[in-house]
Amino acid sequence: MIDLSVNLPGLHLKNPIIPASGCAGYGRELAEFYDLSRLGGIAIKSATPAERFGNPTPRIAETPMGMLNAIGLQNHGVDYIIENELPFLAQYDTEVIANVAGAAEEDYVEVIRKMNNSPVVKAYELNISCPNVKHGGIGLGTDAQLAAHVTRMAKEASTKPVYVKLTPNVTDIVSIAKAVEEAGADGLVLINTLLGMRIDLRTGRPVLANGTGGLSGPAIKPVAVRMVYQCARAVHIPVIGVGGISTPEDVIEFLLAGADAVEVGAANFADPMVCVKIIDRLPETMKKYGYASLQEIKEKRAI
Amino acid sequence: MKCTDALIIENVKLNEDVLRMKLKTDIAPLVRCGQFVQVQVPGFFLRRPISVCCTEGDTLTLVYKVVGQGTDAMAQMKPQQTVSLIGPLGTGFPLLDRDVTLIGGGVGVPPLVETAKQYRSRGFHVTCVLGFNRSADMILVNEMKELGSEVETATMDGSYGVRGTVIDAIREKGIAVDMVLACGPLPMLKAVCECASDGYVSLESRMACGFGACMGCVVKTPEGESRRVCTEGPVFRIGEVVL
């Protein structure tokens, strides 16, 4: 038996597989397919201080080996989530990461202060990168000083470890990663979606009502691997890799790039069983490539 | 709902761009009228949400239109191939203890077949009003008649039945609209909602997952709350959501 457990700040993962925020709701839908206790952890859908309906539809467009989404952080607000969603997750033996979003720094602080009291939430993941909210996240995540500022405020408010989820829609992601580490982040999560667009040939207009949306799925995996590789070398805090993962081979690739654990995003939409399939097949896939432990993968990391 | 492999036993053209796919699958007996399945098409990242036309034992029938590359690839699939399905998904048509009028437009007709079957088998009278652009587009009219439904047809070009829309056929034939169950293009559903006193409509939407996780397919209630087409829908009571 290969030990797949990973210990990160606040997170004792029985395996390195975590459904990514926005791709698993608050667990209820995936729980129809399998026991959520199989998962290392679960990153729940973004919480904002107040309820948000999100963007108009269409919100989804398929792309080659991926998809665009412009959901727009639809959620019932932090109070509702604490009262109605977190108790459901409490029955499972899996680490819950609360994704926190907002239009301004104060929003992050408000959500964190409220969730601090919940024993279900083990760590926060700051969404400073969702490209869909006008005047919102995009500004914070694309500027090193702003990203550091919101990280510092979140850390001051938080009683739990704070991970910062970075946007790839920047010129130099390493400078943002370093600034966030300097500001006290306990870990990094990267990458969020890449800003994209599709245009309907008949109407001549964008397919998404929002115009642009976030690209996810296997199409973005090489970009994510590259950014994990660059950032993991530049910082001394753990990195959770995310972007286009759908197989155990992908997981090993991210671990070799420098990730300590991974999140699986859009692949859950195509196959709701994908996370357990990856967990089941990870040991044999590791053996196939000559790795007897996760530690051996880390030691093999490219320089 | 579950994720399962199904065996294709038939995939044939019903007309120029509409096909019928029959599948052997253990989810067939679980499907209720108006529900759908998510079909994985090789080479495409997301699945195709397709409403279930009818079921018999472990055989599930899908009738679908080729509208893009994904459904075109689905049309190329051959008997004996396996295909991954998620289903049954969504909330279908209610089984009311009364006579009903079923209204279908184009590829909105398929889910009404199982619905007609369920109402007929419980002894209720079913009137079907089926609308198509032209007679060459007509599908499933005979199947509806064989189920013992009374069928009225409308074509936009007048090549068969009443010339015009399903609404024109309803007016011309004096068909009862006190309880309608409808599926078809959005303009048709809007018109149905205006003329019917009560009933249910089945909506279509772009969706990623189909099982409630992605929030891609939401519609609004008149009060501004959200409902997922894939989960609370695709069938909604008239007035429950804003079309």
Give the pLDDT score at A136: 46
Task: Provide CB contacts within 8 A for A276, sequence distance 6+.
Answer: A34, A38, A39
Residues B115-153: b if buried by 16+ CB within 10 A, e if exposed: bbbbbbeeeeebbbbbbbeeeebbbbbebbeebebebbb
pLDDT confidence of A103, banded at 50, 70, 90?
confident
Q: B208 at the A interface (CB within 8 A)? A: yes
Residues B6-38: b if buried by 16+ CB within 10 A, e if exposed: bebeebeebeeebbbbbbebebbeebbbbbbbb
Q: Do A71 and B216 touch (CB under 8 A)?
A: yes
Q: Report how far residue B3's alpha carbon sits from residue B167's, in angstroms, rounded to the nearest whole number.
A: 39
Cα B142 to Cα A185, A193, B25, B115, B136: the distances in Å are 66, 49, 25, 15, 14
DSSP state of A269: H
Which of these, B131, B99, B94, lies nearest to B237 by C-alpha position? B94
Give residue-wise pLDDT tens across range A214-265.
999 999 999 999 999 999 999 999 999 999 999 999 999 999 999 999 999 9
Q: Do B208 and A266 touch (CB under 8 A)?
A: yes
Q: Out of B3, B205, B208, whose CB is closest to A69?
A: B208
Q: State whether residue B148 is helix, strand or coil.
A: coil
A207, A269, A271, A276: best to mutate for the B interface, most B CBs within 10 A:
A269
DSSP B162-222: EES-HHHHHHHHT---SSEEEES-HHHHHHHHHH-SSEEEE-----SSSSSSS--SEEE-T
Residue count of chain A: 303
Q: Report how far residue B82's alpha carbon sits from residue B40's, in angstroms, rounded to the nearest whole number.
A: 10
Q: Which chain A residue is nearest to residue B70, measuring alpha carbons?
A: A62
pLDDT confidence of A302, banded at 50, 70, 90?
low
Give residue-wise pLDDT tens across range A18-48.
999 999 999 999 999 999 999 999 999 999 9
Q: Which residue ranges of chain B lie beneath pLDDT 70?
A: none
ipTM greater than cut 0.90:
yes
Q: Report how far residue B85's alpha carbon sits from residue A171's, in angstroms, rounded to the nearest whole number.
A: 41
A226 by Cβ neighbours in 10 Å (0-12 / 13-18 / 19+) ranks as middle
Whether omega for the bond prior to residue B88 falls within 30 degrees of 0, making it cis, is yes
A21, A33, A60: best to mutate for the B interface, most B CBs within 10 A:
A60
Q: Report how far residue A52's alpha carbon sits from residue A75's, in angstroms, rounded to the nearest whole number.
A: 5
Q: Do B206 and A61 touch (CB under 8 A)?
A: yes
